[in-house]
């Protein structure tokens, strides 16, 4: 907005570009710790519904799936938060380029959410089937290939959405003139200053355990004496 990106010959949406840069923040960890439990249950439920179409007996208990007598647990890393995060990064990048209206942007967000759900469900189903067939799915490259395959399937509907977004109306190209729209530029400049200050603030992690001091042990226990680094009897 400060540099008039929406008025360039190859215009870019400042809003969606800002959203794209916003994903540099640790939203994935926040999503896992706030929505992870719900995502686990939703993904496990969806995977169970698909596995029920097979011939092997399936039993679902929360995030636990019993398939052909083998236990499959949908753990927190399998909640789909990372896939949702990556697909929204792709959506934001495409939205910045295509500059959709709010109507088409809402459709794109809905498509991204649905795609992320099915990506994770398909990944869990493939991992469960591979696990039942005695494949070590936790070893490389099987685990990575299954995840990338499912993620690639989720990319397709988002790219198709971007191709269907109507082209934005052409804008008049003009040279940057900071005397015009000074209020918007002033607000944008304030945000830039805030961003520079925030990234340069000292870091004080709040989720780090305090250093535990070593206990002071007695020099003698009964008839036994102790020295640093050795025990003497």
Highest mean pLDDT among 160-164, 186-190, 210-214: 160-164
Q: What is the pLDDT of residue 111?
A: 96
Alpha carbons 98 and 168: distance in angstroms, whole number:
7
Residue 146 has pLDDT above 80, yes or no: yes
Least confident among 110-114, 119-123, 154-158, 170-174: 170-174
Residue 233 has pLDDT above 50, yes or no: no
Residue 180 has pLDDT above 60, yes or no: no
Report the share of the chain in percent with pLDDT over 70: 80
Q: What is the dihedral of CA 49, 54, 57, 62, to 10 degrees?
A: -20
Q: Which residues of 92-129 are buried (b: 16+ CB within 10 A; e: fewer)?
A: bbbbbbbbbeeebbeebeebbeebbbbbbbbbbbbbbb
Least confident among 93-97, 104-108, 153-157, 205-209: 205-209
DSSP states along 113-172:
HHHHHHHHHHHHHHHHHHHHTT--TTSTTHHHHHHHHHHHHHHHHHHHHHHHSPPPPP--
pTM, two decimal places: 0.69
């Amino acid at each position: 907005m400060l540099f008039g990106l929406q008025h360039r010959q190859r215009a870019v949406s400042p809003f969606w570009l800002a959203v794209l840069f916003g994903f540099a923040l640790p939203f994935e960890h926040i999503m896992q710790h706030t929505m992870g439990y719900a995502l686990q249950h939703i993904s496990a439920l969806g995977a169970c519904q698909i596995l029920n179409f097979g011939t092997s007996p399936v039993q679902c208990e929360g995030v636990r799936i019993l398939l052909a007598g083998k236990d499959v647990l949908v753990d927190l890393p399998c909640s789909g938060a990372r896939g949702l995060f990556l697909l929204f990064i792709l959506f934001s990048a495409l939205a910045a380029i295509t500059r959709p209206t709010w109507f088409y942007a809402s459709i794109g967000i809905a498509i991204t959410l649905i795609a992320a759900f099915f990506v994770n469900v398909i990944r869990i189903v493939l991992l469960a089937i591979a696990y039942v067939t005695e494949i070590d799915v936790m070893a490389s490259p099987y685990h990575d290939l299954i995840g990338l395959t499912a993620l690639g399937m989720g990319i397709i509907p988002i790219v198709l959405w971007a191709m269907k977004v109507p082209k934005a109306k052409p804008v008049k190209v003009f040279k940057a003139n900071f005397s015009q729209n000074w209020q918007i530029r002033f607000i944008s400049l304030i945000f830039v200053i805030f961003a520079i200050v925030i990234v340069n603030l000292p870091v004080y992690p709040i989720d780090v355990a305090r250093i535990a001091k070593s206990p002071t042990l007695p020099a003698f226990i009964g008839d036994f004496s102790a020295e640093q680094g050795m025990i003497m009897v």
